[in-house]
Structure 1
Amino acid sequence: MTSHPDIAIFSVNFPPEPTGVAPYAGALAAGLHERGYAVTAHVAQPHYPQWAHYKGYGQWTRNDQVDGVAVHRHRHYVPHSPHGIRRLMSELSFGIRLVLAGWESSRAVVVVSPALFASVLVVLRIRLSRHRPPFVAWIQDLYALGMAETGEGIGAAGRLTRWVEAHTLRAADCVVVIHPRFARYAVRELGIDERKVKVVRNWAHLATVAPGDSAAAKAALGWPTGVTLAVHTGNLGVKQGLENVVDAARLADETGAPVHFFLVGDGCQRKKLTALARGISRLTFVDPLSEADYPLALCAADVLLVNEMPGVTAMAVPSKLTSYFHAGRPVIAATDPGGVCAEEIAAADGGTVVRAGEPRALLDAVLEIGSDAAAAARFGANGQRYRQVVLDERGAMQQWSTVIEEVLAQSPSRAQRSPRAAAAMIIGGLVAMSRFSHHPPAS
C-alpha cells in the first residue's frame, strides 16, 4: 500500500460511542489498517446515544490516532432533541464539515449511513472534484423504509426521502448492506444495480466473551438475585417502542411476578420513559455502561431483550443482537413475527419472539424462559454458535477487503451524475427532512 491515506471513512458515529453503528465503523477502520491500508476516519465528536458531547470532547476539530487509524473528529450541531428541522441541521452540519475536510488524496471513500443527508454532500463534493475516488455506501439503516414503518414517511416527505436515498445509492460504485433483506429492498425498491450490492453482515464486536459467572456479575453490578433479570441494552429511541417494556414491568408489579426489567443505555426517549415508569418497582434505568462493565450486564441477564415498536419489520437489524448472541444468553424479541429481527432469531434458534406492543406476552415469555434452565442454555449455546459461524469479524473483514480491492481496481464510475443532479438531491433532502419528525439511527 502507499504511504498516504488510501481509504477515507466517513461516519457520524465512531468509538468511544459504545452502541449502534460506532463499534462497527471503528472496527472497519482498524481492520482495514491491519490489512495494510492507510486509513483516515472523518467522524463526529462522540455524542450518541445521549445526544450530548462526551466529557473531554466537543472541540471544533480533534485529531487522534486510534488503532493505527488517523481519526479526525469534527464538531457539528448536536440537538438535545433530534427531531424535525433540528435533525436536518445536525446531519447537514456534519456533511458540511466533511465537505470542507482534507481528503483529496484518498483512493476510495466509505460513507456510513446514517447519516444519509451528510452523505449527499459528500457525493456532491466527489462529483465536483477532478479527482473522483470510488465511493462505497455502507447502509446500516434504510431511511425511507424506516420512515414508512414508524409512520413518519406518509406523503411527500416519504417520497422525497426515498428519491434522495435511491439517487445517493445509485451514485455509489458499491453499496454494502448488512442483511440480505436490505439487498433485496435496495435492488427492487430503490433501483440499485444488483451487481453493485454486497451483503456484509455486522459482527460481534465485544473483545471478550461475557463472564460465565452470572451470580458474580450480578454482585459486581449490585443487581438483584432470586428473580429473573430481563435486560435491554442500547438506544432508548423511537423505533424501540420501549413503552412496551414499561407496561410489562407494570404488569409484573401488579401480579407480583418474580422478574426485574433493566433498560441499560440512553436516548431521546429516556426522559419520557422515565416519567411513564414512575412508581414501578420492577424496572430500573441504568446509564450507559463502560466497555468493561457492558459484558457484565450481558452476563448478569437471565434473558436479553430486543423490543421494537409495532410495524417495524425491515428498516434495521438491531445491532445489539450480535452482542447478545456473543454473550450466550437467551434472547426474547418483542417484534413483528415477519420482520428481519424475528428472522435473525429464528435463523440462530437463539430465543423466542412475541408480537410487538403486547406487554402481557412479553412478560409471559420472560417468566417462561426464566423458569426453564434447559431451554435458556440451549438458546444461549445456539446464539453463540450462530455468532461464530455467521457473525464472525474475521470473515466480515475479509469481505470488506475484497470490496475495497474491487473498487480500487475500477476507474471512477462513468455513471457519475451532473452537479445539477447533486444539487437537486440536496434540495429534495432539505424538503424531506423538514417534513418528518424523527428518524432514529440503528441500534
Structure 2
Amino acid sequence: MGESRTTDAARTQAAPDLGGLTVCLIGINYWPETTGIAPYTTAMAEALTDAGASVHVITGIPHYPQWKLQDEAYARGRRWEEMRDGVRITRVRHSIPETPDLAGRAKLEASFLAGALREVRRDTSDIVIAVTPSLAGLAAGALGHGRRPLGVLVQDLTGNAAGESGTTGGRASRLIASGEYALLRRADRIGVITPRFGDLLIAQGLPDEAMVALPNFTHITPVDVSAAAARARLGWTRDAFTVVHTGNMGMKQGLDSVVEAARLSDIRDLGIEFVLVGDGNQRVALEAQAAGIRSIRFVPPLDGDDYPYALAAADALLLNEKPGVREMSMPSKLTSYTSSKRPIIAAVEDGGITESVVREHGAAAIIPPGDPERLLQAAQDLRCDVEGAAVLTTAAQRMFQNRYSPVSAHARYVRFAQSLAALRAGVPA
C-alpha cells in the first residue's frame, strides 16, 4: 500500500547507534512492492542503515500482490546484486505460482529457500534477522545463521493463515504450523507486531523472554484534501458515499461479501459505492461476480503519489476479513487507515486479533464479517451520523499517534538489532 520509502522525518530522527554492526536481513517481499509486508521490511533495512549498520538484504523478485513478475529486468538470471539507499540487496530467483494454492506456494517456498539459504551461508554479517512470512525466509535464517544471533520479525503466522483462509485443509495447516514453531524455537529474539502473536507463540512453548513488541507503522504521508477533491483527481464518482478497501484481494480478505453489498446498494439505489484498490489472486473472480453491478469499482495498485489520495477519497475505509479469520494476521493496511482522518469499518471476527486491536482503541465501527446487509448498514450509519463518524476518526488518529508513529517504529527496529548484537558480544540485552 502506497510508497514503501521511509518518510524523511523518520529517517532524519534515527540515531546512529549501530555503527560498525553488519546485519543480514531476509524476507521474500521488499521494495519495489508496495503492498503487504514489503514496505515494513524495506523500512527496517533503511532504519538500521540510518543508525549506522551495514545491511545486506536477501530477498525475492517483485511479484506481489499480482502473483506475476512485475519487472522484466528479472525475467532472466538467477541472482541479482543491487544498491538502494545505502542497503545492499541480493535478489534470488524463485517460482511465481499463477495460482497461489498449497502446491503453488510450496514450489515458491522451496525455490526461494534454495537460493536464500545459499546466500545466508555466504553472508558474514554479525547478526541475522528473518521476516515471516514466508516460511522459506524463516527457514533460511534458522538453518543458515550458524553461530550468529538470529532474530525473527513475525508479520503473519503462516500455519494459522493457511488454515483460516482456506488455502489448505486442517491437517496441512497443522503440519505447516508445527514446522513454523520448530523454526521459531531456533531464534534468539522474536519480534511480534501484536501481543496476540506473542501469546500464541508462548502457548506453543516458545520462551516469553524471547518476545519483543515490534508494531508496524504507517509508511505513507497523508494528504489534506476533501473526499470530493481526491475523487476528482482519481476520476472516481464524485457524489456517491464511497467505501474504500485497499491492498491484497486474496482468500483471507473475503471480499465477495463486499461485492454483494454493492449489489444491494444497486437494487435499493442507495448511492453507496465500494472501491477495491489493489490486486490479488481473487481479483478476477471478484470482477466476474461484480459484472453488471454499478456500485463497485476495481482500481489497480496505486503508486506512492496516488495512494494517499485513494485514502482521502473515502468517506469510510474498510477492513474486511473472511469469516473464521481470527489468529492469522494483522492487516497491514490498518497502519495507513489510522493516519487518513477517515472513519473505519471493520468487518472482522469477534475476539480475533484485528477486532481486539481496533476495539481496544475504539478505532472502528465493528461488524460481523461476511454479512453484506450489516456492511451496507454500517456505511449508511456513517453517512447519516456525522458526529459518530468524527468520534471514530479521532479515535483512529489517536491509535496512529500512540501505536503507528514511524519514528517510534524505527527506534524499535534499532533496539531489536542492538539486543541481538548484545547477545553476540555476550552482554545481557
Q: TM-score, normalised by structure 2?
A: 0.91
Counterpart in the other structure of 2:128: 109
Mapping of 1:360-439 within 5 angstroms? 360-411=373-424
Assess, with a 3 A threshold, how the Cα gap between structure 1 residues 382 and 145 changes in structure 2: closer, same or farther.
same
Moved more, 64-73 or 42-51: 64-73
Mapping of 1:238-257 within 5 angstroms? 238-257=251-270
Are residues 1:227 and 2:240 paired? yes
**CA separation in 1, counterparts of 2:413 and 2:235?**
41
Q: Deviations over 1:335-369 (max 9, x none)?
A: 11221212222223222011011100000101110
**CA separation in 1, counterparts of 2:313 and 2:106?**
39
- Among 192, 201, 225, the alignment partner of 1:186 is 201
Residue 318 of structure 1 contacts residue 341 of structure 1 at CA under 8 Å; is this kept in 2?
yes
Are residues 1:159 and 2:178 paired? no
**CA separation in 2, counterparts of 1:241 and 1:333?**
12
Structure 1 residues not aligned, in runs of 5+: 414-443
- Among 52, 60, 72, the alignment partner of 2:90 is 72
Query: Which 4+ stretches in 1 moved above 6 angstroms?
Result: 1-5
**CA separation in 1, counterparts of 2:325 and 2:126?**
37
Counterpart in the other structure of 2:11: none
Are residues 1:36 and 2:52 paired? yes
Mapping of 1:129-144 within 5 angstroms? 129=146, 132-144=147-159
- Among 338, 341, 345, the alignment partner of 1:325 is 338
SS at match of 1:332: strand
**CA separation in 2, counterparts of 1:163 and 1:95?**
18
Give the root-mean-square deviation of aligned CA atoms.
1.9
Counterpart in the other structure of 2:142: 123
Residue 344 of structure 2 contacts residue 363 of structure 2 at CA under 8 Å; is this kept in 1?
yes
Residue 23 of structure 2 contacts residue 53 of structure 2 at CA under 8 Å; is this kept in 1?
yes
**CA separation in 1, counterparts of 2:286 and 2:73?**
28
Q: Which amino acid aligns with 1:142?
A: L
Are residues 1:199 and 2:213 paired? yes
Counterpart in the other structure of 2:62: 46
Counterpart in the other structure of 2:29: 13
- Among 109, 117, 120, the alignment partner of 1:91 is 109
Counterpart in the other structure of 2:163: 148
**CA separation in 2, counterparts of 1:318 and 1:62?**
30
Q: Deviations over 1:274-298 (max 9, x none)?
A: 1111111101110000110000000
Moved more, 369-378 or 70-79: 369-378
Counterpart in the other structure of 2:186: 171
Instruction: Report deviation, 1:210.
Output: 2.6
Assess, with a 3 A threshold, how the Cα gap between structure 1 residues 151 and 265 changes in structure 2: closer, same or farther.
closer
- Among 316, 338, 343, the alignment partner of 2:329 is 316
Instruction: Report deviation, 1:26.
Output: 0.4
**CA separation in 2, counterparts of 1:265 and 1:412?**
45
Q: Deviations over 1:55-111 (max 9, x none)?
A: 344253332222221122222111111112221010111111112226431111111
Structure 2 residues not aligned, in runs of 5+: 1-16
Are residues 1:214 and 2:223 paired? no
**CA separation in 1, counterparts of 2:188 and 2:36?**
25
Moved more, 234-243 or 401-410: 401-410
Instruction: Report deviation, 1:149.
Output: 2.2
Q: TM-score, normalised by structure 1?
A: 0.88
**CA separation in 2, counterparts of 1:151 and 1:355?**
18
Instruction: Report deviation, 1:388.
Output: 1.1
Instruction: Report deviation, 1:152.
Output: 5.1
**CA separation in 2, counterparts of 1:213 and 1:152?**
39
Instruction: Report deviation, 1:5.
Output: 6.9
Residue 5 of structure 1 contacts residue 40 of structure 1 at CA under 8 Å; is this kept in 2?
no
SS at match of 2:63: coil
Assess, with a 3 A threshold, how the Cα gap between structure 1 residues 3 and 392 changes in structure 2: closer, same or farther.
closer
Q: Deviations over 1:175-196 (max 9, x none)?
A: 11110100000001x2101110
Residue 114 of structure 1 contacts residue 140 of structure 1 at CA under 8 Å; is this kept in 2?
yes
Counterpart in the other structure of 2:10: none
